[in-house]
Amino acid sequence: MDQQQFWENLIATCHQEWERERLIQLQTSPTSPIKLILETVCGERYYCFQRSQLNLKRITSSLPVSGNQKIGLEIAAGNSAIALLLGQPATGKTRIAYNLANAAIQQQKRVLILSKFPTTLESYQDLPNFPYWVGRESSFNLQQQLNHPKINYTPPHLLPDRILDQLRTPQKLETWLQRIETTSPSRETLSQQLETEFPDLTETRRDLLAKTLLTHTGLLREQLKLFQLYQNLSAEGREKLIQNLRSERNSPILGAIADCLQPQQQWLHQTPFDLIIVEDSHHLHWKDLILIAGMGDKLVLLGEEIPQRQTGRQRKKVSFHRYPYSFHWLSHHLLPCYTYTLCEQYRLHPQLATPIYDLISNRWIQNNYIYIDTLETSLPSHPHLSWWDIRDSNFSSPLLEYLSSLPPQQTSDVGVITFSETTRNEIQTNIKDIYPQVRVKDITHWVGKESLMIVLCCDISPDTLSPEKINIALTRGKTHLMILGDVSQWRETNTLLSKLLSHPNLETIRKVTL
């Protein structure tokens, strides 16, 4: 296939006129990522000598990374036109992307971050310079952030302090700062006064909090003053501030792929981005990939590798239009200098990781779960991996039984995953008055999320459940995964969950309804 045939096949897949016009423009003036894709698709493996202009001088990780993740970060931060990072869930793809985006923003680069799932993008909301979220102008984005400004920013040399954050509301901060500035108390005196606010804190912890307040009184006063000044801005003043922030070159832009590839968002295609990061790239079709690659000089693709036993595909050269998902084709055919596979996981407890990654990955995934003694001793005594065998569709009763067996302070660490919205709504209705802190969401809203303990409700026919949804569901819980469903129904199917039933780490619990 030559390049002309490539473009003809690609344009033939367009359903909108603006897409055809844009692809014709890119055919005439391709960006560096598109040139590399063209040469790889239309020829053999190709090395592109043209370098991107990203030129990041240094990368200081705002989130800690392992050695394995650091290699991926260095590859992604290089000046190659494309970097492709593969990894199963919990291997650190989002952590790498966040550090890369943060470094680029700090060095005045224009950054675009895309994903199929909006929930994945929520991990980037606290990037510097007020990220602008395409398609959410009315419900999120700058308007929402500026309507509810935060005053809990801390200098980089200070560690986060959740106890101090509890005092950093306008009312409490005004009270305590006025008390400090009026009476000039000693650390011991202030520590005693803080006992009324935090009766459960130890004396040593109160002393530390008192010292922090006395040391940073000036900083806290300035933050409170800025907050009060901002609250006095008129609506016109806030709108002008929003417009100024949107026009800033180093304000990152977030967006769901479907939202950004709409006619009303064509301004994105006229904006030259220095760095484009695409999460969940394994969902990208060729047309979408080329349209996105035409927006910038550097393209970083992050996605999951589909096990060959699920796809039946071999690594032989396959025509691009017969291989609909571009990410997997490129992962097989790009030169090794453009790709890297992450092979360490950091989220799942080993008792969960061993059986789960044996199912969802062809590669050996190293367990780097960090044991914390205080956490381990406080975990519930339930098995890490269990299946509660229930023969009806009443998921609320066993869920309530499980929650009642936990210490009250640990129920906030429980998340509930359903495959259907109907079950989600039913469970929310039944437990919201007793356990309002428990997060109950359907599977699409758990992408990019995690919880200490997960309850998975198998409320769908096994024949309609995709391997991708199972992968997401099995990798959300950090220490405990409890599955609710009819064992006899799932054991007869040829799914990942049926294979999990035969693993020795799984404990099956039969629930009898009288």
pLDDT grade for 162, boundaries at 50, 70 and 90: confident
Distance CA 248, CA 241 (A): 11
Query: Tokens 């269990």 identify what position?
Result: 386
- The per-residue pLDDT for range 235-274, each reduced to its tens digit, is 787 777 766 766 666 789 999 999 999 998 888 888 889 9
HSE-CB of 151 using CA atoms within 13 angstroms: 23
Q: In the numeric block, which tokens belong to residue 426?
A: 């039913």
Rounded to the nearest integer, the mean pLDDT of the chain is: 85
Mean pLDDT, range 462-490, rounded to an integer: 91
CA dist 407 and 399 (Å) reads 14
Across the range 447-472, mean pLDDT stands at 91
pLDDT interval class at 148 (50, 70, 90): low
- Give me the residue label for tokens 């792929």: 257
Distance CA 461, CA 456 (A): 14
429-438 tens-digit pLDDT: 999 999 999 9
User: From residue 129, how far is each of 109, 389, 490 by CA, in Å?
Assistant: 12, 49, 48
Q: Locate tokens 């096994």: which residue?
A: 462
What is the pLDDT, as a whole number, of residue 285? Answer: 92
Confidence of residue 320 (pLDDT cuts 50, 70, 90): low
Sequence-ordered list of residues with C-beta below 8 angstroms from that of 286, at least 6 positions apart, any chain = 10, 13, 320, 321, 324, 326
Q: Is the dihedral of CA 137, 143, 145, 147 positive or negative?
A: negative
Amino acid type, 501: L
Tell me if 31 sits within 8 A of 296, measured CB to CB. Answer: yes
| Cβ-proximal residues to 407 (8 Å cutoff; 6+ apart), any chain | 380
Whole-number percent of the chain with pLDDT over 90? 47
Average pLDDT over residues 23-41: 93
Q: Given this model, what pLDDT does residue 142 score?
A: 55
To the nearest 5 percent, what fractions of the chain are helix, strand and coil? 50, 15, 40
User: What is the secondary structure of 186-220 as a DSSP string?
Assistant: -HHHHHHHHTTT-TTS-HHHHHHHHHHHHHTHHHH
E strands in 29-176: 82-86, 111-115, 132-133
- pLDDT score for 308: 47
Dmax (CA) of the chain: 81
Q: Which of 75-89, 128-142, 159-173 has the lowest mean pLDDT?
A: 128-142
What span, in angstroms and rounded, lies between the C-alpha atoms of 333 and 339? Answer: 10
113 forms bridges with which residues in the sheet? 254, 277
460-469's contacts with Cβ under 8 Å and 24+ in sequence apart are 460/419, 460/420, 462/489, 462/490, 462/493, 462/495, 462/497, 462/498, 463/493, 465/419, 465/495, 465/497, 467/310, 467/360, 467/495, 467/496, 469/419, 469/443
Residues of the chain with CATH 3.40.50.300: 3-129+249-342, 350-510
Helix or strand holding residue 440 (H, E): strand 439-442
Q: Quick one: fold of 350-510?
A: Rossmann fold (3.40.50)
Give 3-129+249-342's CATH code, choosing from 3.40.50.12780, 1.10.10.10, 3.40.50.300, 3.30.1330.60.
Answer: 3.40.50.300
323, two tokens: 């291989």
pLDDT at 147: 61
Cα radius of gyration (the chain)? 26
Pairing assessment for the beta strands 275-278 and 299-303 based on DSSP bridges = parallel
